[in-house]
Amino acid sequence: MHEHRAGATMTDVGCTVLVVDDHAEFRSVARALLESDGFTVVGEAADGTEAIASAQRLRPRLVLLDIALPDIDGFAVADRLAESGLDAPAVVLVSSRAASAYRRRLATTTARGFISKTDLTGAAVRLLLRPD
């Protein structure tokens, strides 16, 4: 996990989530993991463009966002979501690569933090969503 960043806060366990990844299998696994830990997955998206449109339509409180997407990378999607206004969702970035591969970009991202896909659990996400 990467350190907690400023942004939207979440105190309730059952927050709504949009899962964004270009691999359907990972979306399915992430959905099952999060739902088993009390999160409510309200949608899925396979690329950055779909993620932005789905976030605007579904208004999730959290977007679990893969960094390596086929059209717009996750960092750019996170920035666009943050710029969307006061009701912008919290964003947690995920990748199959380690945080060290993104060190510089993670230091300046608008996302709440980073979790390796192999370390993804509801508890890990919840840690990043705690208020400062």
Domains plus CATH for the chain?
16-129 (3.40.50.2300)
CA 46/CA 69 separation, integer angstroms: 8
pLDDT digits (tens, 9 = 90+) for 44-88: 999 999 999 999 999 999 999 999 999 999 999 999 999 987 689
3-state secondary structure of 48: helix
For the whole model, what pTM was predicted? 0.88
Q: Which residues pair with 92 in a beta bridge?
A: 64, 113
Number of other CB atoms surrounding residue 28 within 10 Å: 13
What spatial distance separates the first Cα and last Cα of the chain, rounded to whole Å? 16
Q: Is the pLDDT of residue 12 over 50?
A: no
pLDDT digits (tens, 9 = 90+) for 76-86: 999 999 998 76
pLDDT, residue 132, reads 58
Average pLDDT value over all residues in the chain: 89
Q: Which residues pair with 54 in a beta bridge?
A: none
CA 32/CA 37 separation, integer angstroms: 9
CA 50/CA 15 separation, integer angstroms: 21
